[in-house]
Amino acid sequence: MLKILSLVVLATVMTPVVHAQTAAYPTKPIRLIVPFAPGGAADQTARLISEPMAKELGQPIIIENKPGGGATIGASLVASAAPDGYTVLYTTPGPQIINPYLMAKLPYDPDKDLIPVSRLAWFPNVLVVAPKLPVNSVQELIEYARKNPGKTNFGSAGIGASSHLAGELFKSISGVEITHVPYKGSGQVIQDLLASNVQMAIDSLSVYIAQIRSGNLRALGVASPERSPLLPNVPAIAEQLKGYDAVAVNYLSVPAGTPRAVIDRLNAAVRVVINEPAMNERMITGGMIPKTSTPEEMAAEINVERIKWRKVIAESGAKAE
């Protein structure tokens, strides 16, 4: 009885303290974990929003790049962190949508260990090819790959990244064999594309738009169902490859058990920052479709996307090594 009474008294004393800490959140710097190397779409967007979010929250946001394992290393770090709102994951489709079906085992539970805060944006992908590849359309690329087996490969930001599955979807619908070459971030893919060490990539338009506009890389198609206003003369891949749609959602998530008040505080900060007209326009110009959400809306979108990509993974036979 004394032990039970002690626990009751301790809980009574601690409850107001916990509430006070939650109400004051944040009171120290926040770590924003990006599960990819610097230079990719996730890293660029995290850095774009981190400063204004820090001002909105009144505390610094420190970006930490934790690449590897198709985003599982960074996701695992956040999943196992204290659920206090001071460790946040910049989340791409890999950790919760793709990896559960791509990998035999994960170092965290994608259903129970991470919970969404808010959507940040949708990222239309674009198909780009190396300067030396003698093709100028999606159909020419397909024909080239068929006539030159073993000579065409596509780079991605890593196993499980949206750029990986976008390539697998392309292979599945086109029926051509193209070798997947995983990197630790989109920045490395760009360098090898420019050097023609890899032949193609289907990755975020926000990452490749500058290289496309400069003429360094050639865009054959955007991976959204419709053409992008940023590249009005570039057709949608779906115009030549019916049914092709590879738009990636990016969002913030936190460890399960994070107090709802903390999640709501982060959600509110995201909404203020992304819905600010100048930021909104900057993201659109960069190739993104900015769109925030409630935690519940993002959770529902995760479930819908899982169904879509689970089918792609099953049909392609894609597996993480």
18-41 burial string, b = 16+ CB within 10 Å, else e?
eeeebeebbeeebbbbbbbbbbbb
113 has a pLDDT exceeding 70: yes
Q: Reply yes or no on whether the pLDDT at 12 is more than 70.
A: no
Q: Which residue has the tokens 């909404």?
A: 271
CATH class of 29-122+248-316: alpha beta
Strand boundaries in the chain, DSSP class E: 30-34, 61-65, 87-91, 114-129, 153-156, 179-182, 200-204, 218-222, 247-255, 289-290
- Residue 256 pLDDT > 60: yes
112: pLDDT strictly greater than 50:
yes
- Amino acid letter at 311? K
- Mean pLDDT value across residues 201-228: 93
Quote the radius of gyration of the chain (alpha carbons, Å): 21
Nearest to 274 by CA among 255, 297, 250, 248: 250
* Confidence check: pLDDT of 319 > 90: no
Q: Say how many Å lie between the first and final Cα of the chain, rounded.
A: 54
DSSP assignment string, 119-161: EEEEEEEEEEE-TT----SHHHHHHHHHHSTTS-EEEESSTTS
Expressed in percent and rounded to 5, the helix, strand and coil fractions of the chain are: 45, 20, 35
- Look at residue 222 in the predicted model and tell me its pLDDT: 96
DSSP code of residue 317: T
Q: Residues 55-74: pLDDT tens digits?
A: 999 999 999 999 988 899 99
> Parallel, antiparallel, or unpaired for β 247-255 and 114-129?
antiparallel
Same fold, 29-122+248-316 and 124-239: yes
Kindly report, residue by residue over 263-275, the tens digit of the pLDDT. 999 999 999 999 9
Nearest CA among 162, 165, 160, 201 for reference residue 73: 160
Q: What's the average model confidence in pLDDT over 308-313?
A: 88
| Whether 84 contacts 172, CB under 8 Å | no
CA distance 61 to 63: 6
Does the pLDDT of residue 16 top 80, yes or no?
A: no
* Identity of the residue numbered 40: G
- Write out pLDDT tens, residues 149-198: 989 999 998 877 789 889 999 998 999 999 999 998 888 999 999 999 99
**pLDDT band per the 50, 70, 90 thresholds, residue 18:** very low
Condensed to tens digits (0 to 9), the pLDDT of residues 121-134 reads 998 899 999 999 99
Peptide bond into 255 cis (omega under 30): no
Confidence at residue 15, expressed as pLDDT on a 0 to 100 scale:
45
Of 245, 239, 264, give the one whose Cα is nearest residue 254. 264
Domain boundaries, the chain: 29-122+248-316, 124-239
Query: Which overall architecture, per CATH, does domain 124-239 show?
Result: 3-Layer(aba) Sandwich (3.40)
